[in-house]
Chain A
Amino acid sequence: AQSVSQHNHHVILSEAASLELGCNYSYGGTVNLFWYVQYPGQHLQLLLKYFSGDPLVKGIKGFEAEFIKSKFSFNLRKPSVQWSDTAEYFCAVKGSNTGNQFYFGTGTSLTVIP
């Protein structure tokens, strides 16, 4: 079945540690990839997106993600996390064979300890 997988469900890091959150998808065809962040009690906000071109995309707040087509992956990274990065992170896919629909992974809860 087509899906978006985020294997890290809960991640706890100390401030200044490096972050990498995994995202794998199983949709065929051309895909557009997104990472969204949801701060406690808030709505989802776009962190970054990939449509084409350079597979390494940079987003807001120092986040970046790398699209590796051969691995069907779009992992999110940040070299040094801050306490304010504590949030839920969602990977999403919109593909040529998903119509207008966006499909989300199950989310990764990140807690950054000061």
Chain B
Amino acid sequence: KAGVTQTPRYLIKTRGQQVTLSCSPISGHRSVSWYQQTPGQGLQFLFEYFSETQRNKGNFPGRFSGRQFSNSRSEMNVSTLELGDSALYLCASSLGRNTGFGPDTQYFGPGTRLTVL
């Protein structure tokens, strides 16, 4: 099976611009989660989509949004970029089942390195 893919891998933007990142999950996975990773804050959860619906959301401002398509592919959008948005953005997919023992194993993509100048 192909792994989780993310495009683009690297991106340079300037303050005030907006950006869209894409994630293709493992075939058969219905859940896609997005994380922001920075040296100072570590890995922070942005949101999770399951069957085209946002199921969980982290504590990020409304400039961060996402969506999921019927084929489970997901996009994340950041509007009005700020310098502090520079980070590695990771996408993870899983089956998204509710087993009663918490979330399934997540499989991560290689990430998109966003630099805001």
A binds B: no
